[in-house]
Amino acid sequence: MNINKIKLLHEVRAVKNKKELASLIKAQRISEKVLLDAVSFLKDGVTELQVESFIKKSFIKHGAPILSFPPIVAFGKNTANIHHESNKTKLKKGDIVMFDIGTTVNHYCSDMTRTYFWGKPNAKQKKVYLDVLKAQTLAMNKIKNGERKAWMIDKSARSFLAKKYKNNFKHGLGHGVGTVIHEWPNFKPKSTDIIPTGCVMTVEPGIYLKGFGGVRIEDMILITQKGYRLLTNIPSDLKSAILK
Ligand SMILES: [Mn+2]
Sequence-ordered list of residues with C-beta below 8 angstroms from that of 132, at least 6 positions apart, any chain = 115, 161, 205, 206, 207, 215, 216, 217
Residues 149, 159: contact at Cβ < 8 Å?
no
Residues 166-198 have pLDDT tens digits of: 999 999 999 999 999 999 999 999 999 999 999
Render pLDDT for 59-73 as a digit per residue (tens, 0 to 9): 999 999 999 999 999
Q: How confident is the model at residue 1 (pLDDT cuts 50, 70, 90)?
A: low
CA of 169 to the centre of ligand 1 (A): 14
pLDDT band at residue 84, thresholds of 50, 70 and 90? Answer: very high
Res. 153: pLDDT tops 70: yes
Tell me what the mean pLDDT of segment 126-151 comes to.
98
* pLDDT of amino acid 125: 98
Supply the DSSP symbol for 103: B
Q: How far is the CA of 5 from the centre of ligand 1 (A)?
A: 31
If you measure from the C-alpha of residue 84 to the centroid of ligand 1, how many angstroms do you get, rounded to a whole number?
14
Is CATH 3.90.230.10 correct for 3-241?
Answer: yes
- Residue 121 confidence (pLDDT) above 60: yes
Mean predicted confidence (pLDDT) in 76-104:
97
Report CA(242)–ligand 1 centroid distance (Å).
22
Q: How far is the CA of 2 from the centre of ligand 1 (A)?
A: 36
Whole-model pTM?
A: 0.96
Band (pLDDT 50/70/90 cuts) for residue 7 is confident
Res. 9: pLDDT tops 80: yes
Task: Report pLDDT digits (tens) over 122-132.
Answer: 999 999 999 99
Provide DSSP, the chain: --GGG---HHHHHHB--HHHHHHHHHHHHHHHHHHHHHHHH--TT-BHHHHHHHHHHHHHHTT--SBSSPPEEEEGGGGG-TT----SPBP-TT-EEEEEE-BEETTEE--EEEEEESSS--HHHHHHHHHHHHHHHHHHHHHHTT--BHHHHHHHHHHHHHHHHTT---S-SEEE-SSSSSEEEEE-TT---BPPTTBEEEE--EEEETTTEEEE-BEEEEE-SSSEEE---S--SHHHHB--
Residue percentage of the chain with pLDDT more than 70? 99
For residue 203, report the distance from its CA to the centre of ligand 1, in Å. Answer: 8
